[in-house]
Amino acid sequence: MIRTAAMERNTKETRISLTLSLDGGETDIQTGIGFFDHMLNAFAFYGGLGLQLKAQGDLEVDGHHTVEDVGICLGTAVKEALGDRKGIRRFASAYIPMDEALCLAVLDFSNRPFLAFDAEMPQGMIGTYDACLTEEFMRAFAVNSGLTLHLKALSGKNAHHMTEAMFKALGVAVRDAVQVVGTGVTSTKGVL
């Protein structure tokens, strides 16, 4: 079973191309936003993903369109790579600490998208990255991948640590949830 996807998205605000493998591979991520690249690399590493991603956005405005559109593209690619979702574990969770921060990700590849995000960021900016964009990315990713996603910062005083713990927790949980552990669809309904 080949679990890969490639896609492009071109709008008046962004130009994005990516290739994704759920089963690992090289990573090369360039969005023009250094901290966001760092987060996506952490997500891919802990998710066991192969990810090549190039994004050009209207960063002269701010990072919002780039971050949200990357979430749309990455979520869409995950959905495509999962195909009919037969055999995947489906549910997963992960607690990740980073210094004083502790974050929890709980998810279900249910094909019923939803985001519950609970993380008050103590600093508004992390380098040139607006801390509020993490929620925008997570929403776009969840909606476009068909993912029910709950993210919660249980503690933290540093927005960098909290955000990084969330991206790592998401990666660990995604890696576990997309593992093929059977042959049928993991649902009493018979479909996802």
Q: What is the pLDDT of residues 114-128, one digit of tens each?
A: 999 999 999 999 999
CA distance 149 to 107: 5
Query: What is the rounded average pLDDT of the residues 131-158?
Result: 98
Give me the pLDDT at residue 17, please. Answer: 98
In this model, does residue 23 exceed pLDDT 80?
yes
Handedness of CA 98, 103, 109, 115 (dihedral sign): negative
Tens digits of residue pLDDT in 47-99: 999 999 999 999 999 999 999 999 999 999 999 999 999 999 999 999 999 99
What the chain holds in terms of domains, given with CATH numbers, is 4-177 (3.30.230.40)
CA distance 104 to 19: 27
